[in-house]
């Protein structure tokens, strides 16, 4: 249990170095000190008494393994604290990489053979990401479904072996994949058919102008947008515009304001049916 509170990167979405900036005097403290080893839960009261509220929430949101094990660092995070694709390549520099796990491992080879995908293993010219793209581009939809399920099964079995929870043989995994796909197919058969009705523009009565409008709302920036189109019976566009509105407090307010905005714009432009 050797992950350091101040020295290691262990809190998601927290800018690196921030804990040391808080002067919490935790240089010799380990993350394990904040975990109840018997119940495998965070020591909530202790954490909330030491860390600021926002940091405490991030810590308490980190899931803990049900089984105690020695701490290890999966990757050393980027300066932003975000996980990126580049981090994955660093992880691949370990004992096993993706190419070996999914293509060259004897267990995986047996899985592909049992599922009649063995022909895809003959390609050694492409790296793993290129290989995935190639398989998807040369396979049918049903084959892609089986292929993805097999990738998922191999990865799950790999994790089970790493955490010493046992593992399946290649034949067992292939059987699981086939059973799972059969179950999915049965669900698809029982799923009610949904008919999507396509709405078409309907012409208004004679000498009437039809105004169509729609709106969208951005909760984060508290702003909305409205689009307005006015047409006569022949479908001639008499007015079209789009507007942004700021300081909108809710989606309800944005939606309620759309018809009013449409009417105001139509009146301002003096939209009317031509003689």
- Does 115 lie in the same domain as 80? no
The phi and psi torsions of 223 (rounded to 5 degrees) equal -140, 160
Q: Is residue 254 part of a domain?
A: yes
> Please, what's the b/e burial string for 179-218 (b: 16 or more CB within 10 A of its CB; e: otherwise)?
eebeeeeeeeeeeeeeeeeeeeeeeeeeeebbbebebebe
Indicate if 105 and 171 belong to the same structural domain: yes
Integer-rounded Cα radius of gyration of the chain: 29
Q: Is the pLDDT of residue 193 over 80?
A: no
Domain that holds residue 85: 18-89
93/91 Cα distance (integer angstroms): 5
Out of 55, 89, 123, pick the residue that ends a domain: 89
Is residue 205 assigned to a domain? no
Query: In which band, very low, low, confident or very high, does the pLDDT at 192 lie, cut at 50, 70 and 90?
Result: confident
- Domain end residue (candidates: 89, 121, 141): 89
- pLDDT of amino acid 274: 40
Tokens (6 digits) for 97: 């990489």
The CA distances from residue 16 to 7, 60, 80, 146, 232, in Å, are 10, 18, 7, 41, 60
**What are the backbone dihedrals phi and psi of residue 226, each rounded to the nearest 5 degrees, phi first?**
-135, 140
145 located within any domain: yes
Residue 17: band (very low, low, confident or very high) from pLDDT cuts 50, 70, 90: very low
**Whether 47 and 114 share a structural domain:** no
And the tokens for 149?
């399920």
Per-residue confidence (pLDDT) for residue 273, from 0 to 100: 44
When comparing pLDDT for 166 and 200, which is higher?
200
Q: Based on the fold, state whether residues 37 and 61 are members of the same structural domain.
A: yes
Look at residues 41, 74, 89 and tell me which one is the last residue of a structural domain: 89
Average confidence (pLDDT) over 162-181: 85
The pLDDT of residue 177 is: 93
Residues 83, 102: one domain? Answer: no
78 and 125 assigned to the same domain: no
- pLDDT score recorded for residue 22: 66
2 lies in a domain? no
Question: CA-CA distances (angstroms) from residue 46 to 11, 42, 67?
Answer: 16, 9, 22
Q: What is the mean pLDDT of the chain?
A: 79
Helix (H, G, I), strand (E, B) or coil at 93: coil
- Between 36-40, 87-91, 181-185, the lowest mean confidence (pLDDT) is in 87-91
Q: In terms of domains, do 176 and 153 share one?
A: yes
Residues 138, 116 within the same domain: yes
Taking residues 30-51, report their average pLDDT.
89
Residues 231 and 256 grouped into a single domain: yes
152: helix, strand or coil? helix
Is residue 103 within 8 Å of residue 94, measured between CB atoms?
Answer: no
Whether the pLDDT of residue 205 is over 90: the answer is: no
Tokens for 174? 């292939």
Question: What's the whole-number mean pLDDT along residues 15-37?
Answer: 74
Residues 112 and 182 reside in one and the same domain: yes
The reply to whether 13 falls in a domain is no
Shared-domain flag, residues 101 and 84: no
Residue 109 forms part of a structural domain: yes
- Give the percent of the chain with pLDDT over 70: 80
Mean pLDDT for 173-193 is 87
Residue 230 is assigned to a structural domain of this protein: yes
Total domains in the chain come to: 3
Residue 36, pLDDT > 80, answer yes
Q: What is the mean pLDDT of residues 182-198?
A: 82
- Judge whether 165 lies within some domain: yes
Please check whether residues 232 and 178 belong to one and the same domain. no
Q: Is the pLDDT of residue 45 over 90?
A: yes
């Amino acid at each position: 249990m050797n992950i350091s509170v101040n020295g290691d990167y262990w809190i998601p979405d927290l800018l690196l170095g921030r804990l040391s900036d808080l002067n919490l005097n935790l240089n010799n403290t380990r993350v394990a000190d904040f975990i109840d080893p018997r119940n495998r839960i965070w020591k909530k009261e202790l954490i909330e008494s030491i860390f600021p509220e926002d940091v405490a929430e991030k810590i308490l949101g980190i899931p803990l393994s049900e089984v105690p094990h020695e701490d290890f660092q999966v990757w050393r995070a980027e300066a932003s604290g975000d996980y990126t694709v580049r981090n994955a390549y660093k992880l691949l520099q370990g004992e096993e990489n993706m190419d070996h796990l999914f293509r060259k491992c004897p267990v995986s080879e047996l899985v592909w053979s049992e599922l009649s995908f063995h022909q895809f293993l003959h390609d050694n010219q492409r790296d793993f990401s290129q290989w995935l793209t190639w398989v998807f581009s040369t396979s049918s939809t049903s084959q892609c479904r089986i292929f993805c399920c097999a990738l998922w099964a191999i990865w799950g079995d790999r994790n089970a072996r790493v955490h010493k929870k046992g593992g399946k043989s290649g034949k067992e995994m292939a059987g699981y994949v086939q059973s799972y796909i059969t179950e999915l197919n049965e669900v698809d058969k029982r799923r009610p058919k949904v008919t999507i009705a396509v709405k078409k523009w309907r012409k208004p009565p004679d000498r009437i102008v039809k105004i169509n409008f729609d709106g969208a709302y951005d909760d984060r920036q508290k702003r909305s947008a409205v689009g307005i189109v006015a047409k006569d019976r022949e479908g001639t566009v008499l007015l079209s515009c789009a507007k942004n509105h700021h300081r909108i407090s809710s989606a309800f307010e944005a939606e309620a304001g759309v018809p009013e905005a449409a009417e105001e714009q139509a009146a301002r432009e003096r939209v009317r049916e031509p003689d």
